[in-house]
Each structure stands twice: as structure tokens, then as C-alpha cells.
Amino acid sequence: MSAEERLRAERLRKLEDLRAQGIDPYPARCERTHTAQQLHERFSELPPGEETEEFVWVAGRITGRRVLGKASFWDLKDGTGRIQLLLSQDALGEERYELLLRDVDLGDFLGAYGRVVRTRRGELSVRVEDVQLLAKALRPLPEKWHGLKDREARYRQRYLDLLVNEPSRRTFETRSRIVRAMRQFLDERGFLEVETPILQPIYGGTAARPFTTYHNELEQTLYLRIAPELYLKRLLIGGFERVYEIGKNFRNEGISTRHNPEFTMLECYQAYADYEDMMELTEQMVYAIAQELGKEKLSYQGHDVDVTPPWRRLPLREALLEHTGLDLEELPTHEALWEAVQRKGLFVDQQPTWGRLVDELVSEYVEPKLIQPTFLLDYPKEISPLAKAKPEAPHLVERFEPFIGGLELGNAFSELNDPLDQRERFREQEEQRRRGDEEAHPLDEDFLLALEYGMPPTGGLGLGVDRLVMLFTDARSIRDVILFPALRPKKDGARTP
């Protein structure tokens, strides 16, 4: 029997002993009048050595224990904080006190009843006169002092990470506040929150490979959405002027410190607006979130960042000229651009199109440099099949991506609402798909049908929620802001359960 199994067997033995004493180790109901935090707030003025007339019930997990013979001090941790329990043989009786010491372990859930007292050393405590076992734990918690450090274990057993690593817990509380602030910002501006299909007969809205599934009853292949875009646009056609959706997207691609196969996205659309309006919306929304967190100025991975609007507007052509010395206007064909890249001695996989090559260059040489909030704007039409062309430069589109701390946070356009142009763009994508681009957009006849009924001029924005959380929590890896990140399954030979 391994050490781990012995520890578990020891606790199982205690569980049986408790049952033999007529104690239900997993009762259905529990008493509770106060949280730890409520006691600390309410009795902050209680002087050392004094106790209340009033009795309270507290409930939580035992995380520490100091036994001094016939009296002992136990730490009880609940969702709000910690409170000390003072147990003594005098108050509980010899038999009950010894049973508690014998059969209750660190990690068990316990309810405790008694007067509130501040000890001579100044620690607010409950002087326990009655207890109720609430749940027995069969496995030991990670060490109290050092916590759980093993990254793999922290990801695979997030509950332990949350339990013993306070910063991790705070990260996910911050995540929730960010999403709440985002909703509040949009709600106040008259945006309607909606839900659109995750299972889609044709995927679209961005360039990515989808997960495929099958509906038995419909006898139909379905795709997990890679973006909600084409459904949200149908709502604009239906007359809603401002809509948004916060939800999961699924992309069947690589996993990295910035990519999880399922991730959370905000998409919002505003009729009678364009990408300039969406830039303002973006910087105002991120600023509102920052204000909510008190982080208008923040540090991300060692860089000082200030998200106060207005943010820098940087045309993509200028950015590439500055960081690579290449002028896209002088390299209008794939051949010319490819040759220039080669001359620079840069290693870039040869991509099937000019636009893809531009995309590679930007990712490689420009994006990591964009530390202060920046809108990179005016992208090649070729890699933006859902965006409206710039009237004064028809090979470019009204599209931007916001960057902070080198993180790509989203994507936005003046949405293409010309159904005939849209059909032509889809046709070009089909052409690219035939040439081997697996990520090219498939033609969506049903979306084109909707578009032919007329969509108002519209600005659209997608923001990566996980990336935004990374920024505000100074997380290096997206796995640190996703509760249960995708990991390879554990197989024989792996160490962690």
C-alpha cells in the first residue's frame, strides 16, 4: 500500500468510527448564522479576554489545528475568510472532545456553535460548545505553508489550487468582475444581450478550423461555432440596433500560452456605426473595466501600461514600414512581397496568399512591440472577407485589432453589408480553400440570403475575454485565467492523477 493509500485508509477508518458513534459524516442540513467575515466585521471592537452573550453557528473547512492537551485551537476557513475555533474538554466533555481530536482531520468540513470571544493574544474566536461534522474529507489537502506549486497539478486539480493559493482565487474573482463590468458598460449603452447557436450547420465569422459533431436525429453534421458573428448580424437585419453576446468559441487548433481550444469572446454590433465608433467603444469599455478594478495604470509582464483613452491609431502599412522596412504599397503582389521577405532573410512559412504573408509579418514583427494600447488598422481586404472596403483605398478594409502589452485583444470592422460584394468575397475564400487554405471561410448561402434583405451600416467588435483577463491579472499564460484549461489526457506513466 502506498503512502497515499495509507493516508486514505486512515481517514476511512475514522469515517467508520464516526458512523459507529452514530454520527452522519455527510449530513443533509447544517446550521449557520454567520460567515467568518461577518464575525470579524461585527465583533471587530470586542476587547481581548471578553466574550459575547450571543451564540453563533459558523461552518467551514478545518485548515489548521494547534492542540494543547485538553484545549485546542482550530482554524476554520469558509468562502469569506478564516475564524479560529477554541475547543476545550471543559466545554465539550471528555468523550466528545476526544472523539473530535481522534476522528476529525484537516480538510474536513465542520459546523461550530458557541459564544464569540477574543483570546488573550487578540484572535477573534468561537468558544465551541457544540459541533456538527458537515463533510469528511478522505484525502489530505496540500501543505498549509507552501500551498500547491506544481503547475500541472494546479491545472488538473484546480479545486486544490483555489483552496490553497489565494492569488489564484483572486484571479478568478477578478475575471468575474471584468465580465460583470463589461455587461454593465454595454447594458448602460442600450445593448441587448443575446444567445445564438453554438451548434452551427456552417461555421463562419473568422478563419479557423472547427470541431465537428453530428446530430443523430437530424442526421446532420454540425460544427461548434468558431465565432457567433454571422448570427449576430442576422439580428441586425432583424432590426435590433445594438446586440452583444459573451460566450465560448471553439477552434480546433494548437494550444499555447495564448490559445485554448475553447475560449470566451465578447462580440457586439452597433447599427449606424463604423469602425471608428467601435474604436471609441473599445477604449471606453476597457477603460471602464480598468476603473472598476482600479487599474487604469497597470503592469503587464514587466511593462507599465496606461489604458486611459484615447489609444494610438496605427495604420498597418505604417507599422510594417517602421518595424520591417517593407512598404506594402510597393509590394502589391504575393511574389514581390515573398521576394522582399526572403531578401530580408526572415524565415516565414510561404503562405498561399499575399494577405496571409502580411498577417505573418505583422504577428512576427509588429504585434509584440505594441505595449501601450494601440489600434492597428486598415487591413488587407484579402484576409478580411467580412469587412467593408475603405472607400479611398479599396484594397484595404475598415478593420482594426486592439493590442495591449503585446496581446492581441480582439478584432473589429465596419461590417460588410453589401450582399453582392459579400458573395464575391466568399467566392474568393472558396478559391483560397481550393488552393489548400483550410482556414478559409466557407460560403454561407443562408447568411447571404439574410443579407439580401438588407443590413444597416454596422460596426462590429470582438474582444477576447481571456486575453483581457490576462492583461488585468498580469498572467503569462491563458491557462492561468481559465479555470479548467485544456490539457493532454493523463496516461500510464504520468505522475499526476
Partner RNA sequence: GGGCCCGUAGCUCAACUGGCAGAGCAGCUGGCUUUUAACCAGAAGGUUGGGGGUUCGAGUCCCUCCGGGCCCA
Nearer to RNA, 84 or 432 (CB): 84
> DSSP secondary-structure letter at 47?
P
Q: Cα-flanking dihedrals φ and ψ of residue 90, to 5°? A: -55, -50
Q: What type of residue sits at position 418?
A: D
Find cell 442600450 and name the residue: 190
- Residue 92 and residue 98: Cα distance in Å, rounded? 9
496 touching RNA, by CB under 7 A: yes
Near RNA by CB under 7 A: residue from 149, 170, 297, 427: 149
Verify binding: residue 479, RNA, rule CB under 7 A: yes
* Cβ count within 10 A of residue 471: 27
In this structure, what are the phi and psi dihedrals at residue 491, rounded to the nearest 5 degrees?
A: -120, 180
The amino acid present at 428, given as its one-letter code, is E
Angle between helices 275-293 and 465-473 (to 10 degrees): 40
- Site map (CB under 7 A) of RNA, residues 207-246, x = contact: ----------------------------------------
Report the distance separating Cα 236 and Cα 240, nearest Å.
5
Give the total of residues touching RNA (CB under 7 A): 67
DSSP 3-state of 18: helix
For residue 383, the one-letter residue type is I
Instruction: Give the end-to-end CA distance of the chain in Å, rounded to a whole number.
Output: 17
- Interaction between residue 168 and RNA (CB under 7 A): no
Q: Under rule CB under 7 A, which residues in 94-113 are in contact with RNA?
A: 102, 105-106
Q: 17, 129, 130, 150: which one contacts RNA (CB under 7 A)?
A: 150
Piece of 177-185, 253-261, 303-311, 427-435 that binds RNA (CB under 7 A): 253-261
Among 32, 65, 248, 423, binds RNA (CB under 7 A): 65
- Out of 199, 218, 449, 487, the residue judged to bind RNA by CB under 7 A: 487
One of 60, 111, 142, 462 touching RNA (CB under 7 A): 142
256 binds RNA (CB under 7 A): yes
Closer residue to RNA (CB): 206 or 422 = 206
At closest approach, how far in Å is the CB of 371 from RNA? 15
CB of 65 to RNA, least distance (A): 6
Position 40 contacts RNA (CB under 7 A): no
- The answer to whether 21 contacts RNA (rule: CB under 7 A) is no
Residues 115, 109: Cα–Cα separation, whole Å: 20
Helices (H), 76-165: 89-92, 94-103, 151-156, 158-164
**DSSP three-state, residue 430:** helix
Of the candidates 164, 133, 170, 126, the one whose C-alpha atom is nearest the C-alpha of residue 34 is: 126
**Cβ at position 452, least distance to RNA in Å:** 39
Which residues contact RNA by CB under 7 A? 2-4, 6-7, 10, 14, 64-71, 73, 84, 86, 88-90, 102, 105-106, 117, 119-123, 125, 127, 139-140, 142-153, 155, 254, 256-257, 347-349, 364, 476-477, 479, 487-496
